[in-house]
């Protein structure tokens, strides 16, 4: 899940919420949307292998 920040950067979050804090885990902040998407693909690959 990618969200745009007020600073113009993009942040990648975990899709699942933490039941204790009811927030999503930050998986990194990126300058461009393409960089965030590329990292999201790497995270998905890593989760499955």
Maximum Cα–Cα distance across the chain: 34
Alpha helices in 1-49 (DSSP H): 33-48
State residue 36's pLDDT score. Answer: 97
Tokens 């804090």 sit on residue: 21
The residue extents of the domains of the chain are 2-48
Render pLDDT for 4-38 as a digit per residue (tens, 0 to 9): 999 999 999 999 999 999 999 999 999 999 999 99
pTM: predicted TM-score of the whole model, two decimal places: 0.84
């Amino acid at each position: 899940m990618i969200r745009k920040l007020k600073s113009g950067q993009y942040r990648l979050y975990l899709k699942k919420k933490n039941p204790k804090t009811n927030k999503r885990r930050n998986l990194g902040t990126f300058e461009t949307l393409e960089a965030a998407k590329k990292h999201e693909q790497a995270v998905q690959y890593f989760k499955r292998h």
